[in-house]
Every structure is written in structure tokens, then in C-alpha cells.
Chain A
Amino acid sequence: MEAVLKNVSSTVELLAVSAHSGEVSQWGEQAVSRAFHWARYCEHIHARFHSNPPIRGVLEKQLQLTNHRLREALPEHKAVYFRDLGRCQDLLLLCLLNNSALPSSIMKMLFDTRISVNVTGSGYEDVRGLCSQIIQYKSACKVLHHLLEPPSVGADAEVQGEMLMERLGSELSQSGHPRWAEDFMSSVLQEFEGTAEHLCLVTAAALLTSADSATQTASQDFLLDWLQSRHVVLQHMCSELPSKLLADLAKRHQKFRDGFCSFLKKLASEMEYRINEGEWIHTDSAVSFQKVTQHLRTLFEACPSQRTETEEEFNALKIADGDFDVRGLSVWGDLLMAFSK
């Protein structure tokens, strides 16, 4: 373990040097290649230990010490945290490209557009053309993103959903305590404060990934429970996502279906009938009466059994409202009328 700590510490030092030192001007292809080798080592360490709280703690402490020491020598040094280790190559690249001492030959090497013969496989063997490869992949994603009409959540969210599931799986199985997974989700939530829409998509994608193993099922169960406890996120999902996606989720997960149905019921119960507009309106939510009807219709198509159950329930509520067959008196009666159309 001591060797690992020392190596990680040295790599962080290497990052600092590559960002701020004029020494970089002396670096040749081999030196840069070796630097990336060490960065890969740190990525490996991150992948190996991110879900192991004790070791992670030790590494975090070591990083803190190293950062402190480096800042004394180089005031402009930016602290490196444990989670940065997972993207250590990116970090190194950023440091090098921002260092004006970087020799042109290295720039040329990094931006070499030669197509490497073996693109498949791990593809991490060679630093040559690393940047042009990233640019190529990125542009391809961007171009295709606009061209493709995603059938469900889109490739971006699908990949992120898969990554999220993977991470939750390892947090749950390795640390052996759901608290770590909860902490992790809380930190994700914090990160996405301003872009909750994206988180909704990613969460939906995660819940729609195939759950072939026990770990995957456990992760999805955890995520569903987490959604139940974070009512805001669930609400957000139900009001932001398209009907088809919500119906797919409801079909896959009973827990989600329950949550979704009670969300819709709650929303309907809070609606008021505006005589002037001749419409049911919710004062706080952007979800309209039509949207609720559409959500329910799509849901019934996906889960026909839900239809009878909901209709019975709505009927009872309609009776409680006086059982009038006139529009505008009971939201339940009007919803039932909308389905039967």
C-alpha cells in the first residue's frame, strides 16, 4: 500500500510539473509517453479502489498532503482530488497543453492525425494522436447527436445511465453498505442542481438498462428506493420526461409505476376547474390536464392491468364527488370521460 501511496503522490507531482514547469521543454516523446503511463496507473487505482471506503480514505488523505506540499512550492498548483484520478490522462493532457513550454514536436505527436492500425481493443497503448482521436470522437458524437432522433433517452444518457449503474453496483457490492451508495447519489444530486433535467434522463436510462445479474437488480432496486425517498427527483422525472419513456419505466418497475400513478393522482386532485377557460388547471405545475390524460393513456397501453385498477379507483373518487356526469365538476369523472373517448 505504501508503494501505491508513493506512486499516486509522485503522479500528482508529475501533473504539477507538467502544468507549471519550464522543464517540460526538455521532454521527448518517450518522457511524455511515460507520463501518460503513470496517469493510466492512477486511473487504474481509481477504478480499483473508488468503492473501497477505507483505502479510498487513505488515498484521499495522501492526496491532501501532497496538494498541500505542492502548493507551498507552486502557489498556482490546482488541488487534485481522488475522483480526478479517474480522469488522470485528461488532466495530464490539460496540464501539458496549457504549458507554453511544451515542445512543438510533442504537440505534433499528440495531434497526429495518422489513423492507427489497431483502433479496436483497449486503444490505450499509444499516446500518438491522442488529441486528434478525442477530437474526432467528440465531433462524431456531436454531428450524430443532431442527426439522430433518439428512440428513448438518447445515446448520451444511455451511456451515462450504464455508467451510473456500474458505479452503484460496485458501491453496493464492495463497500457492503448502502450508505456509501446513498452518499454517492447525494453528491450526484448536488452536482446536478442546475441541470436536473439531465439527471432525470440519466436516471431513467439507468432504470431501463437490462438487469441480468443480481448486482444490476440490486442497483436498480436501490435507485428506485432512493427515488421514493427523494420525492423531488421523482416528481421532476414524472413531469419532465415524455409519456412513452415514463410508461416504459412503469412497465419495467412496479415501484416506479406506483410512484408515477400517485404522482398523477396527486396532480389531478390539486387541479381546479376554470370556468372561463373551460379547463382543469394546476396552479403550481406545468403539467396540464391533457398531459395527465396522455400519460395515463400511454401507461394503460404499456400495462393494460393498470387500466382496470385506475378506472375503478377513479370511479370511486367520482362517486365521492357526487357522481355527476357533467364536465367540470369532478376531475376524476372528466379523466374517465377522456379515456373512454
Chain B
Amino acid sequence: HVRLLRPSPSTTETMKRLPLLGQVLGRLCWNPYVTADGEYIYSNIFFSSHNLIKYQTCKVLCRLTTEEDDGATLAMMKHLGVPTREYYVKVLNKVYSDHHVLSFCFPNDTNFNISQTPQRCSCGSIQAASEAFMSLITCAEASPVIGTLLQQPAPCIRGGLSENFIDALHSEEVVISLWCHSLPFLEEAVLSLLDSATAAGSTPDKIKEQVTKSLLPKACAQHCSIFLVVNDIFRTVLKRAERNECVKDFLQTFTKCFLRELTLLQPQVWLLFNLGSYKCDWKNHLMWVSSTLQRLTEEEEEEEGSDAINIRVFEAWFLLAQCAHWVQVAVQLLVTSGPEDCGSLLWLLTFYHRPTNRWHHRAVQAKAAWDQLYSIFSVGAHPLPQLSLITLHLLVSFAVFGQLPLSTSTEITLKVRGFFSLLITFF
């Protein structure tokens, strides 16, 4: 009972009287259920036992960090003047290098080749290996081993890898770190997400859910290298499927999720991509984007076939495709602001939908569509012409943001219900 200690004036005297007291108090300090009232907690003994514990902990930690069991190794490190951390990183890298790891998993076969000799691998050693490497899953140096273990032929994965290892692999941190160091895993993850998100019947909500669940936006926000690889895959897919609206929608959703994750890490990022609700800011921004892109594509016209320019135009379009919400704002502004800004904004819309058309065709086509819709929506119901994708995009915008009464807008829109299946691709 702590109260007993109170009458004794000196710590040393008390310690002499009760030699095991230090130990008892030491153990008490680690017990979360033990509390002491304010008067006693600061008593000398309690204080010095705290210090004693701190001192002992220091000693243990120091020993763990700086002492070396293997005298010969320590002597060598000292003699060569090699820092401990550097030395161990080197040894680990060596251990993890394929040579050592494979000889560990497959001790009987020195020329092991995964594709040729699946029958020789022993599930027992794979199990032991997966257990041993479990706690090292997040280490960069361990990635070749983890990769090797995971790439074992199918019968071995089920029979061989330990359950704990597989459980550990499911943690967010581990998955992301694996992507960081193993390109095949990252590629597989991106492609399977693309497949499932662009499959028939997927809705925007579903896409968003899948994207978020995939952890890829988070990984991109954390690691620049992952971001670059993922974007390269998107680029390739988009080049092959220019008119595939599903892929474009997916890219936009992905970018949104990515920016949200990035904002959590770097709050200032949000400002770069979101201008808030000020119409004037948005208009200025979009006009600037449009003029910059126009200049770029005009250069493309002049230097036809130049790869550098083509790449630049594609990159510009890719950015626009990622930030497709800019295009949505542009469409809204096309209806709500006057005809004087319509040229630039229409250009942006056309560039988004038809990046590879020649610019003058784009401008003419879009202007005609806008004129049509402008007249329809300023007068009220009229016979409708054949609508293109751009026109349709504009039509929806006119219906939503136009000045006509709701009933009239609905009437016009109903007339084009034949296109409703297409409309779904937008909203």
C-alpha cells in the first residue's frame, strides 16, 4: 500500500527498508488500472522508480539498437568503417536477391525456373517462407521475395502460402507497398479495375464505389511513381478507345477520387482544381484553358505530323479528359452566359469530344449545333434535327440551365427521348 511510504522522509532509507519496492512500483507503473491520488504520485519514490524504469528501458533499447551478437561481423563493420544501417540494408538486399530466396524456397534445385519446374517446389518451405516474410511485407527490400512467393503456380498458392501471410497481404498498407515495388501487380490491379468499371451495366455510382474500393486513387496520391504508371495505362487505353465514353467517364471519376485523396494529404491541392462557385473565376479559367489549347492545336495544324506536337496535344486533351468537370462547367456557362463567350467555350466542348478532328470542322459543327439549340430554347418547341453527341451534351445543358419554363424544356427534351439511351452515358 503506497500510503505506508508516506512517513519515511528519504527515498534511500525507504529503499533500504523495502529492497523490492522498486520492482513492485516498477510493475505497478506498467499496470493501466493502477492510479494514485495527486499527493502520492509525485512522491520521491514513485518519481525515482519512473526514472529507474526509463533508465532500464533506455538500456534495453540501446542494446537492441547498437549491440551486435556476432563479434566478427561487428569487428568487420568497425574496421571498414561501415554504418550499421547501411550494412544491414546491404545484407537484406543480398538475402532478398533472387538467388538466395529461390535457393531457400527450392533448396534442391539450383537452376530453379518457375515456369518449368512447378512440380519440384515444396509447399512446406513456401509456407515457412511466407510466415517468415510476413512481417517484412512492407519492406521495399523484400518485394522480390513477396513477388516470387505470390507468383508460385496455382496449386502451391493455395497449398503453400500461410494464411497469416495472405491476411497480411490484404491490409491497405501492404497492397500499396506491393504496387510500389512490383509493376505486374500494379498493372493487374489497374486493368481489372478498368474492366469491371467499364463493363456493361455499370452506373456512375457503381464506378465511384469500385474506384474508391480499389485503393488505387489513394496509392496514386501517396506515391508519385504509382500515379505515373497508372496514368500511362489510362493513356494507352484511351488512345485505343477514343470514342469510348465509358472509359472517359471512368477517368473522370478516378481523377475526382484521386484529387480527394491528394487533398487529404496536401490540402492546398484542392485550390488548384476547384475554383469554388464563382462564375467569373470559372469563366476566366475556362477561357484561358480554351485559348491555350487552341494555340496548341493550331501549332499542330501548322507542323502536321510532328510527333512532339501530337504528344503535346494528346497530353492537353488527356488533362481535359481527367478534369472533365471543367467541360461540364463550360457547358453550363454556354447556356447561362451570353453569346459573346460562346466561341471559346464551344471550342473546349468540341475538343473534349472530338480531339482528333481538324479544328475548323470542330468549330463549324459546334457553332451550328449551338445556334440550333439556342433558337429552339428561345422560342419553344420546334421540329428537331438529327443530334450529334456534342449537340446532345449541349441540349441537356440548355434543358437544365436554360431560362425557359420547366414544362417547355421537358417538352423539348421528351421529343428527343429516342436519344435517352445516349443521355444516360452523360448522367
Question: Complex formed: what's the CA distance from A295 to B142 in Å?
Answer: 36
Q: Does A138 contact B (CB under 8 A)?
A: yes
Residue B90 at the A interface, CB < 8 A?
yes
Q: A85-B81, A140-B88 are in contact. List 6 more A-B contacts (CB 8 A).
A: A93-B66, A100-B58, A148-B95, A148-B103, A191-B75, A191-B79
In contact, A159 and B79 (Cβ under 8 angstroms): no
Contact pick for B65, options A93, A104, A115, A140, CB 8 Å: A93
Least CB distance from A102 to B in Å reads 7
Q: Which residues of B sit under 8 angstroms from A195, Cβ to Cβ?
A: 71-72, 75
Q: Which of A128-136, A231-239, A324-332 contacts B (4 or more CB under 8 A)?
A: A128-136
Give Cα distance in the complex from A162 to B83, angstroms. Answer: 15
**Are the CB atoms of A141 and B88 closer together than 8 Å?**
yes
Interface size on B, residues (CB 8 A): 49
Which of B78, B99, B129 interacts with A87 by CB under 8 Å?
B78
| Measured CA separation A145–B91 after assembly (Å) | 10
A134-B85 contact, Cβ under 8 Å, with A148-B100, A149-B107: yes
Once the chains bind, are B73 and A147 in contact (CB under 8 Å)? no
- Among A97, A134, A151, A158, which residue has its beta carbon within 8 angstroms of that of B58? A97
Question: Which of A86, A120, A145, A164 has the most B CB atoms < 10 Å from its CB?
Answer: A86
CB distance from A114 to the nearest CB of B (A): 11
A163 at the interface (CB under 8 A from B): yes
Find chain A residues with CB under 8 A from B95 CB: 141, 144-145, 148, 155
Closest beta carbon of chain A to B227's beta carbon, Å: 13
Chain A residues within 8 Å of B54, by CB: 104
Interface centre among B75, B88, B136, B222 (most CB of A within 10 A): B88
Contacts of B72 in A (CB 8 A): 192, 195, 198-199
Contact A134–B71 (Cβ < 8 Å): no
Listed A/B pairs (16) with beta-carbon separation below 8 Å: A43-B83, A46-B81, A87-B81, A93-B65, A100-B58, A123-B89, A131-B61, A137-B92, A148-B103, A149-B104, A150-B103, A155-B91, A156-B91, A159-B87, A160-B73, A163-B82
The reply on A167 being an interface residue by CB < 8 A is yes
Cα–Cα, bound, A83→B73 (Å): 16
Contact A86-B83, Cβ < 8 Å, known A97-B61, A119-B140: yes
User: What 0/1 pattern do residues 317 to 348 of B give for CB contact below 8 A with A?
Assistant: 00000000000000000000000000000000
B94 at the interface (CB under 8 A from A): yes
Contact check, A50 vs B139: say whether CB atoms are below 8 A apart: no
Q: Which of B141-168 contact A (CB under 8 A)?
A: 142
Verify A90–B76 contact, CB threshold 8 A.
no
* Minimum distance in angstroms from B67 CB to a CB of chain A: 9
Residues of chain A touching chain B, judged by Cβ–Cβ distance below 8 Å, are 43, 46-47, 50, 83-87, 89-90, 93-94, 97-98, 100, 102, 104, 107, 111, 115, 117, 119-120, 123, 130-131, 133-138, 140-145, 147-151, 155-156, 158-160, 162-164, 167, 187-188, 191-192, 195, 198-199, 202
- Shortest beta-carbon distance from B228 to chain A in Å: 15
- Measured CB to CB, the closest approach of chain A to B61, in angstroms, equals 6
The 10 closest A-B pairs by CB, nearest first: A86-B81, A198-B72, A137-B88, A97-B62, A155-B94, A195-B72, A119-B140, A131-B65, A155-B95, A159-B90
Distance A151 CA – B132 CA, assembled complex (angstroms)? 19
Residue picked from A119, A133, A199, most chain B C-beta under 10 Å = A119
Closest to B110 in A: A151
A137→B88 CA distance, assembly (Å): 6
Given contacts A158-B94, A195-B71, contact A134 B84 (CB under 8 A): yes
Please tell me if B189 contacts chain A, counting CB pairs below 8 Å. no
Interface centre among A111, A141, A150, A187 (most CB of B within 10 A): A141
Cα separation A90 to B95 with both chains bound (whole Å): 23
* 0/1 string, B2-35, CB within 8 A of A gives 1: 0000000000000000000000000000000000
* A150–B100 touching, CB < 8 Å: yes
Task: Quote the shortest CB–CB distance from B165 to chain A (angstroms).
Answer: 14
Q: Are A151 and B103 in contact (CB under 8 A)?
A: yes
Complex-state Cα separation, A86 to B82, whole angstroms: 6
Q: Does B80 contact A (CB under 8 A)?
A: yes
A291 to B283, CA, bound (A): 88
* B223 close to chain A: CB less than 8 A: yes
State whether the Cβ of B77 lies closer than 8 Å to any Cβ in chain A.
yes
The residue from B62, B85, B100 contacting A155, defined by CB atoms under 8 A apart: B100
| Minimum Cβ distance to chain B for residue A67 (Å) | 17
| Chain A nearest Cβ from B346, distance in angstroms | 44
CA distance A145 to B173 in the complex (A): 26
Query: Contact check: which of B81, B91, B103 meets A83 at CB < 8 Å?
Result: B81
Q: A83 and B58: CB pair below 8 A? A: no
CB atoms of A90 and B79 under 8 A apart: no
Residues of A with C-beta under 8 A to B55 = 100
CB pair A140–B139 under 8 Å, yes or no, is yes
B424: which A residues are within 8 A, CB to CB? none
Measured CA separation A329–B139 after assembly (Å): 62
Partner pick for A135 among B64, B99, B128, B136, CB 8 A cutoff: B64
Mark contacts of B110-132 with chain A using CB atoms, 8 A cut-off: 1 yes-contact digit, 0 otherwise.
10000000000000000011001
For residue B138, CB closer than 8 A to chain A, the reply is yes
Check A94 against B66 for contact (C-beta < 8 Å): yes
Closest to A164 in B: B80
Contacts of A192 in B (CB 8 A): 72, 75
Cβ contacts B34-66/A at 8 Å (1 or 0 each)? 000000000000000000001100100110111
Question: Quick check: A167 and B83 within 8 Å, CB to CB?
Answer: no
| Nearest CB in chain B: distance from A188 CB, A | 6
Most chain A CB within 10 A, of B54, B70, B71, B87, is at B87
Contact across chains for B84 and A97 when beta carbons are under 8 A apart:
no
- Taking a contact as CB atoms under 8 Å apart, the answer to whether B83 and A141 are in contact is no
Instruction: Name the CB-closest residue of A to B68.
Output: A138
Q: Known A83-B78, A100-B58, A144-B95; judge A135-B65 contact (CB<8 A).
A: yes
